[in-house]
Amino acid sequence: MTTAYETIKYDVEDRILTITLNRPDKLNAFNRQMMEDLIDAFDKADADDNVRAIIVTGAGRGFCAGADLSPSRGGTFDRGGEFEWSDEAIRDGGGLLTLRIYECLKPVIAAVNGPAVGVGATMQLAMDIRLASEEARFGFVFARRGIVPEACSSWFLPRAVGIQQALEWTYSGRVFPAQEAHQAGLVRSLHKPDDLLPAARAIAAEIAENTSAVSVALTRHMLWRCLGADHPMEAHKLDSRGVYYMGKSPDSKEGVQSFLEKRPAEFNMNPSKDMPGYFPWWDDPKYS
């Protein structure tokens, strides 16, 4: 299934959605339309039980060259005088996107095929697994542009690579090779350019073909949200409720039976209608 968008491609095959940033003449530079297209694509993916995993990559030779700095890009709010800092109009578009990815019910895999700087680097941080081409480059270049990190990266980046590495990259704003990103743990693995998407699809297929969609959706949020928990008791609460709910579920029965019968499992529960009553267990903070 293919859905038409202005700035991205949306293709579902074998229960894997591939979202391709599609402004190759601009190195897939991020603008407001791309933000809106991506948020809509994640909304659509969450509502489609045929989508079991998501891959995000770029068209052409780049992943995303950062924000579109052309004069016609839009999205600038210059009002003069004092700001009302809780005004929705000044919200960062990259942050709106990463917050939406954070809420996603499906595993998200970045396949970084080329340069990824600015929001091209920070949008990946809310994704679960990052693979990169050996030709990719990364840069958290904000200090070199006289601005600050965006897309919630001050929360995501230290959790991915540790505070020391996060500070070094954001202080210097330098662009660095994929090999350095790999050594620091920003990306899982490096691949020849032609091998990148097949490697990403292999991970996605392993999930799509062998796991319970509801188990994966719950697991995704349990792990991400426990990053901010102040005590392991929070994890114990979630573990206990999840084990009890899923332990009584049809998917659990099928998982055990398929194991005993030495056959592939056929899970039938769907995130669109079979999430437990305690989900979501959190209250989203307000922008204020």
| CATH code, 211-288 | 1.10.12.10
Identify the pLDDT of residue 73: 45
pLDDT over threshold 70, residue 74: no
Nearest Cα residue to 30 out of 126, 127, 117: 117
- Summarize the confidence of residues 14-19 as an average pLDDT: 98
Token code pair at residue 279: 């989900």
Q: Where are the domains of the chain?
A: 2-207, 211-288
Q: Do domains 2-207 and 211-288 have the same CATH topology?
A: no
Q: Is the pLDDT of residue 11 over 60?
A: yes
Spatial CA neighbour of 61 closest among 4, 137, 123, 5: 137
Judged against a pLDDT cut of 90, whether residue 201 lies above it is answered with: yes
Closest CA to 105 of 286, 283, 276: 276
Q: How confident is the model at residue 44 (pLDDT cuts 50, 70, 90)?
A: very high
Q: What is the pLDDT of residue 288?
A: 85
pLDDT band at 263 (very low <50, low <70, confident <90, very high): very high
> At 3, is the pLDDT very low, low, confident or very high (cuts 50, 70, 90)?
confident
The order of strands in the sheet holding 175-177 is: 116-117, 137-139, 175-177
What CATH number belongs to 2-207?
Answer: 3.90.226.10
Mean pLDDT of the chain: 95
pLDDT at 78 exceeding the cut of 80: no
pTM of the predicted protein model: 0.94
Summarize pLDDT for 89-103 with one digit per residue, the tens: 889 999 999 999 999
